[in-house]
Amino acid sequence: MTVQVATSPQEFTHREGSVKVIHTDQAPSHTGPVPQAVEAGDWVYVSALFGADPKDHAIPQDVTAESQQIFDNLVAIFAAADATLSDVVRVGIVMRDLQRDRPAFNKVRADRFGEHRPAWSAIQSAEFGRTGENTKIMIEVTSFRG
């Protein structure tokens, strides 16, 4: 049985079995069957998240602006999941140019997380994101609301 529950005009949850799909119009959606996030119990798993504008999917040219948009998108998804940045347990990062872009990303990350220190990993890859978007950063996030 599938149930959709409206939490606001822009947000919904979709439950199938023990996994609840999280979606908000305040963050960019994926093409195809990839949800923005899923919830299983007190855990929230955010799928491949980019610094795209939620309305037009534009990616900022500046890595700092792209990093800020990623965190704006993450906060919006967490709001739909009743979670916060302080619930984050782990973040996996993929960057096209790790050495060039990591310092700017880390500054934004430190500003957003403050003293909270989840586990982090970062890798470099030239092959991710939608064709033509020229995104520089992607993150996947695991959080626990316990």
pLDDT in tens, 85-110: 999 999 999 999 999 999 999 999 99
Token output for 28: 């960019």
Round to whole Å and give the CA distance between 135 and 96.
8
pLDDT in tens, 4-14: 444 443 445 55
Instruction: Report all structural domains of the chain as residue ranges with CATH numbers, in order of start.
Output: 2-144 (3.30.1330.40)
pTM (predicted TM-score): 0.87
Q: What is the DSSP letter of 86?
A: G
pLDDT in tens, 40-99: 999 999 999 999 999 999 999 999 999 999 999 999 999 999 999 999 999 999 999 999
The widest CA-to-CA distance across the chain, in whole angstroms, is 48
Round to whole Å and give the CA distance between 30 and 19.
18
Q: What local confidence, expressed as pLDDT, does residue 13 receive?
A: 54
